[in-house]
């Protein structure tokens, strides 16, 4: 399978795992050793300034930490849109990439916007491929704006963008039994 780096995994309605139900995951790395990414649409209630004060200057006042996934929930992951992508250690999509683990404002280069995540999503070798065969996930190329999209809307927005039968799924309420 080709690498899915820079793609979105959109949880299918049949994926009921509470960690991933109705999520959109940006795949940051995918290869023979497995895959990892961050969930884009799980905001917490904790502000970045409260949780990781040194990173508060990278985001807008009041921005919250997002739950990037169930793996290492105490790990801090930062995605940023770089003015000069050459200054990013790993570009994922467009000019959006990861900040280094130790963020030094003087050496990271200028960023336009950033989002802070706690934890990440990870798959062992072959695990993601097996989940794609089930199909637990739909795949769509990512856009840089997806990283910073409204968490309440990104699942539906990406399904509509995918079109066809997926656009119909975008209309599905979070709990169809209440319909």
Domain-located, residue 15: yes
Domain holding 49, by residue range, is: 7-77+117-174
Task: Give the tens place of pLDDT for each residue, 16-57.
Answer: 899 999 999 999 999 999 999 999 999 999 999 999 998 998
pLDDT score recorded for residue 38: 97
Whole-number pLDDT of residue 104: 59
Structural domain count of the chain: 1
Span 138-167, pLDDT tens digits: 999 999 999 999 999 999 999 999 999 999
On the question of pLDDT at 110 being above 60, the answer is yes
What percent of the chain lies above the pLDDT cut of 70? 92
Task: Specify if 123 maps to a domain.
Answer: yes
- Domain membership flag for residue 161: yes
Q: Is 64 left (phi over 0), alpha (psi -120 to 50) or beta?
A: beta
- Residue 43 sits in a domain whose CATH number is 3.40.1740.10
The CA-atom distances, in angstroms, between 178 and each of 55, 88, 171, 172, 174 are 40, 45, 14, 11, 9
Whether 35 maps to a domain, the answer reads: yes
Residue 159 lies in a domain: yes
CA distance 128 to 113: 29
> Residue 100: inside a domain, yes or no?
no
Is the sign of the CA dihedral 160, 162, 168, 172 positive or negative?
Answer: negative
Instruction: Classify residue 70 by its DSSP letter.
Output: S
Q: Give the confidence band of 102 by pLDDT, cuts at 50, 70, 90.
A: low
């Amino acid at each position: 399978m080709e690498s899915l780096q820079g793609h979105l995994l959109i949880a299918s309605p049949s994926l009921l795992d509470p960690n991933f139900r109705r999520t959109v995951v940006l795949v940051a790395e995918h290869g023979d050793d497995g895959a990892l990414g961050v969930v884009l649409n799980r905001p917490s209630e904790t502000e970045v300034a409260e949780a990781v004060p040194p990173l508060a200057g990278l985001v807008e006042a009041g921005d919250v930490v997002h739950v990037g996934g169930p793996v290492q929930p105490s790990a801090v992951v930062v995605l940023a849109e770089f003015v000069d992508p050459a200054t990013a250690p790993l570009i994922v999509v467009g000019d959006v990439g990861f900040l280094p683990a130790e963020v030094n404002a003087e050496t990271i280069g200028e960023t336009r916007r950033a989002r802070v995540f706690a934890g990440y999503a990870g798959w062992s070798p072959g695990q993601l491929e097996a989940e794609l065969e089930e199909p637990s996930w739909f795949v769509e190329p990512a856009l840089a704006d997806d990283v910073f999209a409204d968490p309440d809307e990104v699942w539906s927005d990406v399904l509509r963008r995918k079109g066809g039968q997926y656009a119909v799924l975008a209309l599905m309420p979070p709990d169809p039994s209440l319909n």
